[in-house]
Amino acid sequence: MNTRTAQGQRRSAMAAVDRLSCVPISRLGFNVMLNVLVSQQWLFAALRPAADYVISRTAPMVPGIRVKPVGAPVSGEWVWAREADDAAGVVLVPHGSGYLICSARTHRGFASHLSEYSGMPTFAIDYRLAPEHPFPAAEDDALAAYRWLLSQGHDPAKIAVAGDSAGGHLAVALALRLRSEGLPAPAALALFGPLIDPSYRACIADVRTRRQPLDPRAAARAVALYVGDHDPADPRLCLLNAELSDLPPIQIHYGSREVMRADAEAFAALVVGAGGRCDEHMWPGLMHGYWLWPRDEGLTSLQVAGHFLRTAVAEANTAS
């Protein structure tokens, strides 16, 4: 099969997924599966290898990348696109999927596109997952990864952070944690369909969430496994309640069919209201997770984010 034929088949398959995602039964099936997992938490450990295999095999990667696993003292993997240069900076990538599944491996494609479009290598981290490791385990691991980058000689003005879904939540949580501990901030944050409020209150009330497969009520029950015994309104968890001043420049991407669109909009407004920078990019027709299987405007979204990260790092170094 030639490359053009394979690309055509991929486009046809993704178009079919788009159509199916508007069918009510797809929402019902997804929510039934998610509710079973929440009620039978031991299934997560059994599901993760299969999810890692499927996502890593289907998510497209930039050709010619180099990958270097890291096992200690933090776990993850470096991804270099062909033209990436760590002299320009690095991008720390905390992966998404509700703090419950996925890994650096599943997000290798996502990381490769960020490396390609930013011109910097990415370091995608593996952090401990819920329900075995509830809050603040993932945040502690992200902080350890950031400290490790500093210990490797990386200038914080040349570190950017980019995360999707729960990884977007973790990117902001890391910046808040660094500020509270008096540690230097990264140069910028790029967020894709980020988790903002684990209770999903605004998202549940948002009528725009009805024509996509993920039910925010089911998502809230799943994320509650990470929240654990903590108050979901805690500012470390509900970012709408956090003090959002003095954060690095932020760029936020989401589709018009994003389940957490209402929270993304509210978060951006709060950051700007606190005197910060938060540029919003809404991509028509796209739903949660488009960045893992990007095409057309999804690729443009990643290009815009890569340019933002590269420019923010360059500006941070000019100012320092």
Set 77, 139, 258, 265: catalytic member:
258
Known catalytic membership, residue 26:
no
Q: For tokens 């902001």, what's the residue? A: 172
> Which stretches of the chain are DSSP H helices?
3-20, 24-39, 43-58, 108-118, 137-151, 166-180, 201-205, 216-227, 261-273, 297-319
Contact 122, 90 (CB under 8 A): yes
Angle subtended by helix axes 297-319 and 108-118, to nearest 10: 60
Q: How far apart are the first and last CA of the chain?
A: 51
Set 97, 103, 112, 165: catalytic member:
165
Contact 127, 68 (CB under 8 A): no
Known catalytic membership, residue 288:
yes
CA 103, 106, 109, 114 torsion: positive or negative?
negative
Known catalytic membership, residue 132:
no
Contact 129, 55 (CB under 8 A): no
| Residues forming the active site | 165, 258, 288
